[in-house]
Amino acid sequence: MGLWFPVIASVLRFVSNAILSLEAQRWVFQLLVRPTSVDRLEEAERRVLREAGFDDAEGSFFRHEFVPAGDHQLHTIIVGDERNPPVVLVHGHSMSAAFWCRNFQALVDLRYCVYAVDLLGWGRSDRPEFTGSSFEDTTAYFLNSFVAWKESLGLSSFVLIGHSLGAHLCMEFAYRYPSVPSHLILIAPAAICREVSWYRGFYFSLPPQRVTRRGGFLGYLLLFLKYPKTPEYNTPTSLFDYVFHLASQPSPAGDAAAAAFIEWDNLVPSIKRPLLDRLKPISIPVTLIGGGRDCLIPMDHLNALYDSLVTLCDDVSLHMICESDHCPMLEHPDVFHEILEERLVHAK
């Protein structure tokens, strides 16, 4: 034991110094820069929307609402004439309603009224603590408030468009409330198959919010290094700033709930309740959209979902945007809008 004592002491000293250094730089970063707040998040969102053509002159065409959703409120961006049929947009992991800003006008031009919602625990919606651990706990966290939200708005039927995590939740919602969606559009839906890459499992279990929230300057640097450098993610130029403020919000909420999708067995991650294990017949049109270069949702997973839905749905289509990564609606909005027009005009 005497021989090992100096080694153990050195390791403990190194660990304690590392922790103190990390905490010190985090507090200095917060003291000098004050990197985020609810007001700064709102201002960053305002810049993103303004650069997309939606300025602060809110009126009947474009406005923000904090809609009652049970015990909480969900921030919602409403665009268009409310006399037109509604289309509901549900964002993915780490995102928010404003990430649909490049798609608002195209949907309004198709004579829809757009309702883009910040899911509970994300964006500017309320951020209650997630206290569950199961798949059912996660879906209840997101969907119970979503159902209360749509009832507050009086939305009895609507086109439902979801991306990634949001697409997975939209599918679950359609099964529970089959008479509500008139058309289901799923963009790069998450958790299709039980198998998941180690990187994807790690991303859900230790999402960027946790690193950015606690990392101080190092968290900011890691987010900056990981953030895509392609023009699609840097125009408008304020998008990175918005992503940083979204990730830095102080209370773990939506990210903690999404982590419950993943389970680990001997350091191997898997999806607890993948879509392919829970498919049912569905009577409405279903449109699947994926990116040919998606680094998160493999093409073979999306093809497997399509092949299964074909046997359960009378009207299902699959569209691949070959040059797109995980966010086709953001990266290639023109091609995405062509698909929407083809499918939605046909549905009408």
Residue 248 confidence (pLDDT) above 70: yes
Q: What is the mean pLDDT of residues 5-10?
A: 56
Q: Are 201 and 266 in contact (CB under 8 A)?
A: no
Q: Are 134 and 257 in contact (CB under 8 A)?
A: no
* Per-residue pLDDT tens over the stretch 62-73: 999 999 999 999
Q: What share of the chain is helix, strand, coil (3-state, %, to 5)?
A: 45, 15, 35
Residue 21: predicted pLDDT: 52
Residue 108: predicted pLDDT: 96
Residue 48 confidence (pLDDT) above 60: yes
Closest alpha carbon to 164 in 223, 99, 103: 99
Query: What pLDDT band is residue 215 in, cutting at 50, 70 and 90?
Result: low
Query: What pLDDT band is residue 324 in, cutting at 50, 70 and 90?
Result: very high
Of 15-19, 158-162, 262-266, 341-345, which one has max mean pLDDT? 158-162
Question: Residue type for 318, please?
Answer: L
Please give the full DSSP string across 267-278, using - where no structure is assigned. Answer: TEEEESS-GGGS
Classify residue 162 by its DSSP letter: E
Give me 269's structure tokens: 């991650």
| β 72-79/86-90 pair status | unpaired
Q: Are 205 and 269 in contact (CB under 8 A)?
A: yes
**C-alpha to C-alpha distance for 55 and 63, rounded to whole angstroms:** 10
Query: What pLDDT band is residue 151 in, cutting at 50, 70 and 90?
Result: very high
Q: What is the mean pLDDT of residues 30-56?
A: 80
Residue 201: predicted pLDDT: 82
| Element spanning 115, H or E | strand 113-117
Residue 17 confidence (pLDDT) above 50: no
Percent of all residues in the chain with a pLDDT value above 90, rounded to a whole number:
61
Residue 19: predicted pLDDT: 47
**C-alpha to C-alpha distance for 193 and 300, rounded to whole angstroms:** 10
Q: Are 262 and 205 in contact (CB under 8 A)?
A: yes
Angle 61-66-67 (CA atoms, 0-180°, nearest 5)? 95
Query: What pLDDT band is residue 275 in, cutting at 50, 70 and 90?
Result: very high
**C-alpha to C-alpha distance for 155 and 213, rounded to whole angstroms:** 35
The pTM of the full predicted model, rounded to 2 decimals, is 0.89
Query: What pLDDT band is residue 257 in, cutting at 50, 70 and 90?
Result: very high
**C-alpha to C-alpha distance for 321 and 331, rounded to whole angstroms:** 10
* Per-residue pLDDT tens over the stretch 98-140: 999 999 999 999 999 999 999 999 999 999 999 998 999 999 9
Query: What pLDDT band is residue 230 in, cutting at 50, 70 and 90?
Result: confident
